[in-house]
């Protein structure tokens, strides 16, 4: 049986940073709505500054650093992917569309056959 490890925020500083992140996001959204009479520049400025500060606070915490490292690793893996050529992509798309059309016709025929069997032959209901 495999055991999974749960990573938690360990230091008090990281907990404080994450609490600050939540507070900054709430303050940014509240500032956006409270500055409605000041105009859109003030609204969006407050929102962007608050969210920017929240991002900076998050990135400086240990979970933020782990998230950034995960993003770098994921990007490195995406670069290793061999993407299909345009011709291959079009062919695979055509295969999927053809399969869907064939399945739709098959399911429609099955439905109509069962409808005919049950309603017309067995129950004798005529439409």
Q: Give the model confidence (pLDDT) of 91-125 as tens digits.
A: 999 999 999 999 999 999 999 999 989 888 888 77
Query: What pTM did the predictor assign?
Result: 0.57
Domain edges within the chain: 13-81, 83-127
Provide the b/e sequence for 94-117 (b: ≥16 CB within 10 Å).
eeeeeeeeeeeeeeeeeeeeeeee
Phi-psi region of 124 (alpha: psi -120 to 50; beta: other; left: phi over 0): left
Mean pLDDT of 38-59: 94
């Amino acid at each position: 049986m495999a055991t999974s490890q749960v990573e938690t925020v360990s230091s008090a500083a990281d907990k404080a940073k994450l609490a600050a992140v939540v507070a900054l996001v709430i303050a940014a959204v509240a500032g956006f709505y409270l500055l409605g009479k000041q105009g859109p520049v003030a609204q969006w400025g407050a929102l962007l500054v608050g969210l920017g500060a929240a991002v900076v606070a998050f990135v400086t915490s240990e979970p933020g650093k782990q998230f950034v490292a995960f993003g770098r690793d994921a990007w490195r893996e995406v670069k290793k992917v061999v993407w299909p050529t345009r011709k291959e992509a079009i062919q695979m798309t055509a295969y999927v569309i053809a399969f869907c059309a064939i399945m739709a016709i098959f399911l429609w025929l099955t439905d109509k056959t069962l409808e005919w069997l049950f309603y017309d032959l067995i129950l004798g209901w005529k439409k």
